[in-house]
Amino acid sequence: ERDTEPAAPGSAQRDIVITGARENNLRDVSLRVPKGRITVFTGVSGSGKSSVVFDTIAVESQRQLNETFTSFLRNRLPKYERPHVESVEDLSVAIVIDQKPLGGNVRSTVGTATDIWSVIRVLFSRCGTPSAGGATAYSFNDPAGMCPECDGVGRTVHLDLDRAIDWSKSLNEGALLLPGLSVGSWEWSLYGGSGRFDNDLPLAEFGEEDRRLLLHGSGFTVRVDMRTASADMRFEGVVTRFERLYLKRDTAALSEKRREAAARFTVERVCGACDGARLNAAALATRVDGLSPADYARLEISELIGVLERIDDPVGGPVAAAARERLERLAGIGLGYLNLGRETTTLSGGEGQRLKMVRHMGSSLTGLTFVFDEPSVGLHPRDVGRLGDLLVRLRDKGNTVLVVEHDPDVMAVADHVVDMGPRAGSDGGHVVFEGPYERLREADTLTGRSLRRRTPLKGAVRTPTGRLPVRGADLHNLKGLDVSFPTGVLTAVTGVAGSGKSTLVSRVFTAAYPEAVVIDQSAIAASYVGALDAIRRAFARENGVDAGLFSFNSSGACGGCAGRGVISTDLAFMDPVTTTCPECEGRRFHDEVLQHRVAGRSIVDVLEMTAAEAEKVFDDRALLRKLRTLDEVGLTYLTLGQPLSTLSGGERQRIKLATQLHRTSGVYVLDEPTTGLHLADTGTLVDLLDRLVDAGNTVICVEHNLEVVKRADWVIDLGPDGGRRGGELVFAGTPAGLLAHPTSVTGRYLRRDPG
Ligand code: ADP
Ligand code: ADP
Ligand code: ZN
Ligand code: ZN
């Protein structure tokens, strides 16, 4: 009957129809998502947005797609288990564009990941003088083009002699610090037992010849005398030996221990042969319009566009235009400050996500469903507008666009908004609003209310107790920056993407003040785990048994499923089938464990409790303190048994903050702490930061979220733009001062809504 429904204006497309979704915390959710439209999913973190978009829609799309393949193909693809949902109808193929780091290794660059470098290679092979050959001649991932010294990596690894050797000591005193060379060992005897060196002379006093022999000697045999035996051995200098054992072979083949040792004693240097450009001499000697391939890799994208505009001859023109079109897409989404040679492993999650987005923008496929995870991450309000344009263009090519997002400027481009709630975890999992953004602003939901609330600009700021100066910072794009970080206050470091915020705070400042505590979203929360340990101990004490019994990773595990609670069976031609373990019925523990109780509850009962419920059951003081900490950071909705791996970044970050709340006079550094946070959570986060500061601590946040900037005591604004056009101090002072600043981009956006 759906065919007879009136189509949405301008589209003959149907809806994606989801019925009875129960993944994670979802409470039998049914909803329709319009195809060919932009739908933004909102709601506090933990409300169930990802459970709908990623764990139900995207997974089911992938699974249904796999079903259309031959069994031969299917067996070679990742297996998707059917999500907990009655049905999802009228799905199209989903492409997930998330913030997982770009699958990258040292050979993956912005140029190769976007395929733009292959266009540049064509340009050089057609128009370069003198030409080095056909296209692979300009590929650093092909033997025809790569620098032979560094194999196209641009860097070479060397033994760090100052870490490998204690020059103040003699061979007998243990001057050789490398693994396997302890005094008296067989390997040590190659040097100490060779009779060639004065074993009691500090290495610093060795003559030039002895030093060379010890480090690099080779090509002769020495008679090595040990106490118990003697033998003729081929001599090999300390450096030569280390390079053969640790550096000359495929590092993937080295054992973990050896890899660690290698990392401990080595330094990386820019390759001397290609100066980091990765290409061989013939390739690097080629010029197009006076510039070498190395110049093309080093120029910032926004500069490279200008260079390519000058190439307009019949041979090069069309190639240059093709490259330019792709580069303009990157610049258009605020990545103009990157260069093609930049290794993708060094990009932030947000930068990586925008690269993936641009890759798909070039595709002419239509009728797809694009799924985005908070694409505004890392974007200054100035660049969020361009992001919105990109989403609209994707839609207008005939695609469905689903976005999980907290930024009101992104919500504003949505055709349809689905608000999840009412709150998080077991208090969430419902659709609380569906409709256009304008109506969401009036809705009586947490999101609607937060959108109406205005955060006033902080007037009465705290007085700093001191200053932590940074002098002459020049890493990456920083231009010899002198800047002081005030202590005893909340500082926000602002600026457009690529202006140098992370470089200044996460690299330079933390290197200068190593006692600073970095609070990111990735680290595992020890106190949460600590609460579980305390619970196990309480069970052990009460029942006079071993605490390991109360862990499903330990002696308490059900034998039938090894503590997993489920059993997966691989069926040759179908999805693996996961069934509840018949022995423990999904409880993960063996039966005997469940007989042991505290206040009438078994360990399984307790793991299903939220922190708030557990507070009423236990009277162990250490445990109560840990549970209350979860309370203080608003996470009492989490059940105690929820695996840490399933917590959102924001949840992990708040647990980390909770462990710090009782400290004083520490320095805390946070890089974009509002990532993944709803407007309401952002308020809670700043409340937490305020409490840390009130207790005598110093807090420094890299942050483009104006809600945080407004509540800071001090703002350090970098700019004026990204990359080479950034790296300068634009402003340092109070939020009110920034509001009045004539040129700061951040100040300009602050004036849009000063609260
Ligand atoms: P959102 O995307 O709105 O932040 P999620 O959909 O990620 O929320 O999570 C909804 C709830 O389900 C949260 O309480 C979260 O902790 C929980 N959750 C998410 N993934 C899992 C999982 N794999 N197992 C158990 N609980 C989960
Ligand atoms: P922000 O935090 O303001 O977005 P960043 O500090 O990440 O800015 O970047 C500032 C400049 O330094 C940019 O031009 C960026 O491309 C460059 N940059 C950042 N990290 C690296 C790196 N690991 N290697 C090379 N350049 C980098
Ligand atoms: Zn090289
Ligand atoms: Zn079992």
**How large is the average pLDDT for residues 244-253?**
71
Write down the pLDDT at residue 481: 97
Write down the pLDDT at residue 48: 94
The order of strands in the sheet holding 15-21 is 29-34, 15-21, 85-89
Query: Is residue 521 very low, low, confident or very high in pLDDT (cuts 50, 70, 90)?
Result: low
Query: Is residue 67 very low, low, confident or very high in pLDDT (cuts 50, 70, 90)?
Result: confident
Span 331-356, pLDDT tens digits: 988 899 999 999 998 888 788 888 88
The residues placing their C-beta within 5 Å of ligand 4, an ion, are 558, 560-561, 581, 583-584
Span 185-202, pLDDT tens digits: 888 999 998 889 999 999
Quote the CA–CA distance of 327 and 116 in Å, as a whole number.
Answer: 8
Ligand nearest to the CA of 294: 3
Spacing, Cα 539 to ligand 4 middle (Å): 21
Reported in sequence order, the residue ranges of 111-217 that DSSP labels E, i.e. its strands, are 155-159
Mutate which of 50, 402, 636 for ligand 1? The one with the most ligand atoms within 8 Å of its CB, which is: 50
Is the preceding peptide bond at 130 cis, omega within 30 degrees of 0? yes
Write down the pLDDT at residue 383: 85
Write down the pLDDT at residue 430: 98
Spacing, Cα 73 to ligand 2 middle (Å): 41
Q: What is the ipTM of this complex?
A: 0.92
**How large is the average pLDDT for residues 220-230?**
80
Task: Examine the pLDDT at 639 and tell me if it is beyond 90.
Answer: no
Q: Which among 232, 193, 233, 197 has a CA at the least distance from the CA of 214?
A: 197
Task: Examine the pLDDT at 717 and tell me if it is beyond 90.
Answer: yes
Decide whether any atom of ligand 1 lies within 6 Å of the 498 Cβ: no
Q: Which among 174, 178, 179, 150 has a CA at the least distance from the CA of 163?
A: 178
Mutate which of 447, 648, 681 for ligand 1? The one with the most ligand atoms within 8 Å of its CB, which is: 648
Radius of gyration of the chain (CA): 30
Write down the pLDDT at residue 427: 87
Spacing, Cα 129 to ligand 3 middle (Å): 21
Spacing, Cα 272 to ligand 3 middle (Å): 6
Ligand nearest to the CA of 649: 1
Give the CA diameter of the chain: 96
Ligand 2 atom nearest to 343, measured from its CA:
24
Task: Examine the pLDDT at 519 and tell me if it is beyond 70.
Answer: yes
Decide whether any atom of ligand 1 lies within 6 Å of the 47 Cβ: yes
Ligand nearest to the CA of 55: 1
Write down the pLDDT at residue 528: 62
Lookup: tokens for 545: 């048994």
Ligand 2 atom nearest to 506, measured from its CA:
6
Mutate which of 379, 382, 477 for ligand 2? The one with the most ligand atoms within 8 Å of its CB, which is: 477
Query: Is residue 6 very low, low, confident or very high in pLDDT (cuts 50, 70, 90)?
Result: very low
Task: Examine the pLDDT at 595 and tell me if it is beyond 50.
Answer: yes
Percent of the chain with pLDDT over 70: 94
Ligand nearest to the CA of 594: 4
Spacing, Cα 505 to ligand 1 middle (Å): 31
Spacing, Cα 590 to ligand 4 middle (Å): 7
Which residue minimizes the CA distance to atom 19 of ligand 1?
646
Decide whether any atom of ligand 1 lies within 6 Å of the 421 Cβ: no
Decide whether any atom of ligand 1 lies within 6 Å of the 521 Cβ: no
Q: What angle do CA 652, 611, 698 make, to 5 degrees?
A: 45
Q: Which among 715, 702, 633 has a CA at the least distance from the CA of 670?
A: 702
Span 472-498, pLDDT tens digits: 999 999 999 999 999 999 999 999 989
Is the preceding peptide bond at 179 cis, omega within 30 degrees of 0? no
Which residues, in sequence order, are bridge partners of residue 269? 156
Decide whether any atom of ligand 1 lies within 6 Å of the 56 Cβ: no
Q: Which residue did the predictor score with more confidence, 88 or 459?
A: 88
Q: DSSP letter at 503? A: I
Spacing, Cα 711 to ligand 1 middle (Å): 29
**How large is the average pLDDT for residues 686-690?**
92
Write down the pLDDT at residue 2: 36
Task: Examine the pLDDT at 11 and tell me if it is beyond 50.
Answer: no
Among 429-433, 527-531, 544-548, the minimum mean pLDDT is found in 527-531
pTM: 0.81
DSSP 614-636: HHTT---HHHHHHHHHHHHTT-T
Ligand nearest to the CA of 641: 1
Write down the pLDDT at residue 364: 78
Query: Is residue 103 very low, low, confident or very high in pLDDT (cuts 50, 70, 90)?
Result: low
Write down the pLDDT at residue 249: 63
H helices of 633-694, in order, are: 649-660, 679-694
Write down the pLDDT at residue 180: 85
Per DSSP, the three-state class of 464 is coil
Write down the pLDDT at residue 527: 54
Query: How many residues are there in the chain?
Result: 755
> What average pLDDT is seen over the chain?
88
Span 275-286, pLDDT tens digits: 999 999 999 999
Write down the pLDDT at residue 262: 77
Write down the pLDDT at residue 573: 53
Strand pairing class (466-473; 94-97):
unpaired
Spacing, Cα 140 to ligand 3 middle (Å): 9
Write down the pLDDT at residue 3: 37
Among 298-302, 441-445, 526-530, 738-742, the minimum mean pLDDT is found in 526-530
Q: Which helix H or strand E contains 447, and what residues bound it?
A: helix 446-452
